[in-house]
Amino acid sequence: MKYTTLPTTDIKVSKICLGTMTFGEQNTEKEAHEQLNYALSKGINFIDTAEMYSVPGRKETQGSTERFIGSWLKNQKRDDLVVATKVAGPNPGLSYIRDNMGFSEAAIRDAVDKSLQRLQTDYIDLYQLHWPERSANIFGIRNFKSNPNEAWQDNFKTVLNTLNTLVKEGKISHFGLSNETAWGTMKYLEMAKNENLMRPITIQNAYSLLNRTYEISLAEVSVREDIGLLAYSPLAFGVLSGKYLNGKPANSRLTLFPPMRRYESEESHRATKLYADLAKKHNLNLTQMSLAFINQREFVTSTIIGATTMTQLKENMDSIEVVLNDDILQEIDALQNLQPNPAP
């Protein structure tokens, strides 16, 4: 395994982070523990989850992922692991999570305490805001439209003060953003600087061969402001494994959960075929080429992988040994130019 540090800290994390959103929906507790044990045995020390998981979000399974991790975590050397979780932003479809959804001080405190209980731990290493409270171009939205009647009010200072207090109390060690924009990221960073507060150290956004929108503005922010990307959906919901090129496998996510259509466009299918051909040309596995591309980006702190089977997990983890040369990287860029970001 290869390692780096969380930006502005001395916390060592594996370049591959174990994503867990299938725990409780597609994976049983036993299967979750098998994945966690294998990942740990191969050097992964970084685990990511969220209070809303498993996915897709349902009242019946909400919190199951953290509970599965917690029943495993209590038997581990806690200080050897870096555990990240997230507080959900407002969403009418997820009102069952808490009575006070959003990022008020009461809401964040409630969410942290419940996550600590489910995870069976005294502290969370990295606590992330899962998505912004305000209207923003996230989850595939391309065209920003302001809403003059939007209920959200600028509360960046309140959020930062709450998170800083939780750090002082020892409930969280650091905090980060997720599904955030360049404007939101810089707003948090500037506010933290001006108010002499701890700042966010990571951004967890989607990034893959089918979605390189992070490079448009946020990559520069990551490099110049030292705030690292935790890349989620690096295989675009499994599309970049190539398994959908000849139809939908029976138990795949896009078959089981039809609303998850972010990566199902004709453009995504066409681009995936081109990347598959490129991988074959260089005697590479499409999955591992796709992940290796993410692993090598200078602004990426860690690549979040997810799997429903041990075979998938092993294949994903083995990507850390794959290094793409300059010729392959140039060919990847050429394909990106032919079909830019088909699955933002």
pLDDT tens-digit readout, 272-293 = 999 999 999 999 999 999 999 9
Q: Using DSSP, state whether 20 is helix, strand or coil.
A: coil
**pLDDT exceeding 70 applies to what percent of the chain?**
99
Range of the domain at 29: 3-238+293-323
In a domain, 251, yes or no: no
Pull the structure tokens for residue 250. Answer: 């029976």
In a domain, 283, yes or no: no
Q: Please answer whether residues 203 and 222 qualify as being in contact, where contact means their C-beta atoms are separated by less than 8 angstroms.
A: yes
Find the Cα–Cα–Cα–Cα dihedral 196, 198, 201, 202, rounded to 10°.
-110
In a domain, 53, yes or no: yes
pLDDT at 138: 78
pLDDT at 258: 66
In a domain, 103, yes or no: yes
Q: How many helices and strands (H and E) does the chain possess?
A: 11, 10
Q: How far apart are CA 320 and CA 156, in angstroms?
A: 37
Count of residues in the chain: 344
User: What's the angle, vertex CA 19, arms to CA 281 and CA 182, rounded to 5?
Assistant: 85
What is the number of domains present in the chain?
A: 1
Over 80: is that where the pLDDT of 329 sits? yes
Whole-structure pTM over 0.85, yes or no?
yes
Average pLDDT over residues 150-164: 91
* Exposed / middle / buried, residue 335 (Cβ in 10 Å: 0-12, 13-18, 19+): middle
Mean pLDDT estimate for the chain: 94
Backbone angles phi, psi at 176, to 5 degrees: -145, 180
Residues 57-109 have pLDDT tens digits of 999 999 999 999 999 999 999 999 999 999 999 888 999 999 889 899 999 99
Over 70: is that where the pLDDT of 259 sits? no
pLDDT at 237: 92
- Catalytic residue among 3, 38, 53, 263, which? 53
Q: Please answer whether residues 207 and 232 qualify as being in contact, where contact means their C-beta atoms are separated by less than 8 angstroms.
A: yes
- End-to-end CA gap in the chain: 29
Beta partners for residue 208, in sequence order: 211
Average pLDDT over residues 9-16: 98
pLDDT at 150: 78
Give the Cβ contact number of residue 177 at 10 Å.
24
Question: Tell me, what CATH number does 37's domain have?
Answer: 3.20.20.100
pLDDT at 260: 62
Stated as kind and residue range, the H or E segment containing 299 is none
pLDDT at 255: 73
Pull the structure tokens for residue 302. Answer: 């860690």
pLDDT at 278: 98
In a domain, 259, yes or no: no
In a domain, 71, yes or no: yes
Closest CA to 66 of 90, 46, 85: 85
User: What's the angle, vertex CA 202, arms to CA 74 and CA 154, rounded to 5?
Assistant: 110
In a domain, 267, yes or no: no
Average pLDDT over residues 45-57: 96
Active site residue 53: yes
Average pLDDT over residues 154-164: 95
pLDDT category, 144, cuts 50, 70, 90?
confident
Contacts of 46 by beta carbon, 8 Å cutoff, 6+ apart: 13, 14, 16, 17, 18, 81, 82, 84, 302
DSSP state of 27: B
Amino acid at position 306, single letter: G
**pLDDT exceeding 90 applies to what percent of the chain?**
85
In a domain, 297, yes or no: yes
Q: How far apart are CA 73 and CA 326, in angstroms?
A: 40
pLDDT at 253: 75
Q: Which runs of consecutive H residues, i.e. helices, occur in the chain?
A: 29-41, 64-73, 105-119, 156-168, 182-194, 218-225, 253-256, 266-281, 286-295, 310-317, 326-338
